A and B are shown apart, each in its own frame.
Chain A
Amino acid sequence: MISSQGSRRDSGKEEIRVEGLTMAYGEKIIQKDLNFSIYSGDIFIIMGGSGCGKSTLLKHLIGLIRPYRGRIIFKGIDFWNVSQEKRLEMLRGCGVLYQSGALWSSMTLSENITLPITQFTGLSQKEAKDIASFKLKLVGLGGYENYYPSQISGGMRKRAALARAIALDPDVLFFDEPSAGLDPVSAKHLDDLILEIRESLGATIVMVSHELASILSIGNNSVFLDSETKTMLATGDPKRLLMESEDPKIIEFLTRGTGKRELRLV
């Protein structure tokens, strides 16, 4: 198994460590023996073929599913070995952008963002609304405060969901296939926006993706899951995996089946 941790790793602070993680639905094992670390400032990509358990791993990392075996250490604390209150507090340090956006449909875009702000901070409704407007401007949706999710396009919903994900200025942002369902231009814009927000907020990003363009252009650390062996095949910088990996499955995935190891960043 390749592990390409660069020199930055030595100085980078470990945000999340996954130790011997086995994921299962009931008794059905999805992935087993996963071990990898995510460092502060990483854009960490969870990649692999369809149905290999990428989204399930993401759900484990954000505390929606309890591991079958193994531990998830979040900022040095074993996530499932602390009280419910502590877990909820830890989750507030995370922002999640779901594949569908998952905006609360009964609320306006502004309310979607103000809800966590008013709930978990001492800010007034007015201050929270101002912050919501600012976050919407950051993602290019200034003026859409009073729109409902159903009144805007899919791409705008993703952006609004990103604005909500960064509502509490999280340390770690999780994205579940952010560019799924978007046209190439919108997908590129979203990638740029993710990079911009990561640079501005200094957040660590964990992303499920099988968009090669995104993986190779913005990812600097990754884990490759395999559905056949039900475990990870490699972890490290996806560009290095592309150039150095000897695993045929990884080569096939990262070269789109052509076998040509060339970096084509779109």
Chain B
Amino acid sequence: MGEKKGLRGKIEIIVSEDQECRIVFSGNWTIYFRHEEVFPKIKELISTKPIKRIQISQKGLSSWDSFFVSLIERILNFLDSKGIETEILDLPEGVKRLLELSKTDLGQKRKAVKREAFFERIGEASFSVFSSMASFQDFLGRVTIAVFNILSGKSRLRYSDFLLYTQNAGARALPIVSLVSFLVGLILAFVATVQLKLFGAQIFVADLVGIAMARDIGAMMCGIIMAGRTGATYAAQIGTMQVNEEIDALRTFGFDPIEFLVVPRLFALTLMMPLLCIYSDLLGIAGGAVVGAGFTDITLLQYITETKNAVPLTHFSIGIFKAFVYGIIVAIIGCRKGLTCGRSAASVGRVTTSAVVTSIVWIILSCALITYICYVYDI
């Protein structure tokens, strides 16, 4: 709602002799009307005259709202801080009552909000990193025990949940994985074609696209897509369960939330990721083939033959292994973030974002590590 036109709020300051004065409010003193600036006038008054006592009153006050009351309260506090005595004369009864209400003390001790010093905050942040690392290790240990319990038959896997998560992480992810992988293959092929054409070596587009997709890009695309899609879902689902006390309810029934919530999701994602990776590799290579066969002199058969020769099974195996590792990372981080969620809607958003970002960082780090190991062992 915009500012209303009309009689604006006015004040008049009447100074009497014996160090007293009266502030008289008139007109409309609501949030929707323009009003005169009050504090500059009062400051000027008390700086120029030795005022000891101020009375606050009204004459023709047409309308007022809580804005007016808060203004009066601020004036009273300001004058009080300056050691000037105040008196409210004929303000509306409602204003007086609200002013009285604002002084209500519920009897609870106010805790001083202490702003921590910069170094104190750094210290606390450092300690929290160590404690969160320790609790993450504890979580990993619990997950490992839960996985062994289920694999050894000590605990039961909830197959209905497992199948549902498998469908969500597998079949339902196919459209986005198809689109992204195909386009990434296409883009790689375009970039390669432009450069290799200069040397008349367009045939090697097939090698580049094939090796890149099979060893790294296919798995990484799947990892990043699943971090944004499934990892975020896991964090949000479990986080919301935390907010709604559903996880407490599981615990009080004697269910282990890790066996119940984490393991089925972990199994589903680690099973689906290698499959999605193979699918992504093939789609990426198909994208490359469209460019290779469509925009260069190479035929489709030549492109396929070159890809077959250039990409041995080892490359695919490395990519599939990476996808398996990324699956573990995304599932573990998504579930972990969900379980550490607070009790508010805001914290669900926070853990979801954190799950995606942390997963992507760890995917890149683990990719670098695996690539380095492969380089060292010449795989």
Contacts and interface: CB of A to CB of B under 8 A. Distances in A.
Nearest to B255: A119
Interface string B146-166: 000000000010000000000
13 contacts: A63-B252, A92-B253, A96-B248, A96-B249, A104-B249, A105-B240, A105-B244, A105-B246, A116-B255, A119-B156, A120-B254, A174-B252, A228-B109
A43 interface: no
Contacts of A100: 244-245
Contact of B245 (A88, A98, A120): A98
Contacts of B250: 104
Interface of A: 59, 62-64, 88-89, 91-92, 94, 96, 98-100, 102-106, 115-116, 119-120, 164, 168, 174, 227-228
B241 interface: yes
Interface in B248-270: 248-256
B244 A116 contact: no
Nearest to A99: B245
A64 B246 contact: no
A228 B240 CA distance: 33
Nearest to A95: B252
Contacts of A94: 252
B179 to A, nearest CB: 28
Given A105-B244, A228-B109, A98 B249 contact: yes
Nearest to A161: B249
Nearest to A149: B244
A245 B240 CA distance: 43
Most buried by A among B240, B250, B252: B252
Contacts of B156: 119
Interface string B209-245: 0000000000000000000000000000100110011
Contacts of B108: 227
A104 B252 contact: no
Contacts of A62: 252
A104 B250 CA distance: 9
A89 B254 contact: yes
Contacts of A64: 248, 251-252
Given A100-B244, A105-B241, A228-B109, A91 B252 contact: yes
B244 A96 contact: no
Most buried by B among A91, A100, A102, A164: A102
A56 B250 CA distance: 17
Given A92-B254, A94-B252, A102-B245, 20 more contacts: A59-B248, A62-B252, A63-B251, A63-B252, A64-B248, A88-B254, A92-B253, A96-B249, A96-B252, A100-B244, A102-B244, A103-B249, A104-B241, A105-B240, A105-B246, A116-B253, A120-B253, A120-B254, A164-B249, A168-B253
Interface of B: 108-109, 156, 237, 240-241, 244-246, 248-256
A128 B343 CA distance: 32
Contacts of B248: 59, 64, 96, 98, 102
A174 B251 CA distance: 14
Most buried by A among B108, B237, B245, B251: B245
A223 B152 CA distance: 46
A96 B245 CA distance: 11
Contacts of A105: 240-241, 244, 246
- Sorted nearest first, the 3 A-B pairs with minimum C-beta distance are A88-B254, A102-B245, A102-B249
Contacts of A88: 254, 256
Contacts of B255: 116, 119
Contacts of B245: 98-100, 102
A160 to B, nearest CB: 12
B89 to A, nearest CB: 33
A136 B251 CA distance: 22
Contacts of A103: 246, 249
Contacts of B244: 100, 102, 105
Contacts of A119: 156, 253, 255
B254 A104 contact: no
A168 B255 CA distance: 14
B128 to A, nearest CB: 11
A104 B160 CA distance: 15
Contacts of A115: 253
B286 to A, nearest CB: 37
A91 B249 contact: no
A118 to B, nearest CB: 10
Contacts of A168: 253
A260 to B, nearest CB: 20
A65 B156 CA distance: 26
Contacts of A228: 109
Nearest to B249: A102
Contacts of B241: 104-105
Nearest to B252: A96
A77 to B, nearest CB: 15
Contacts of B109: 228
Contacts of A106: 237
Nearest to A85: B254
Contact of B254 (A59, A91, A98, A99): A91
A70 B250 CA distance: 25
B281 to A, nearest CB: 33
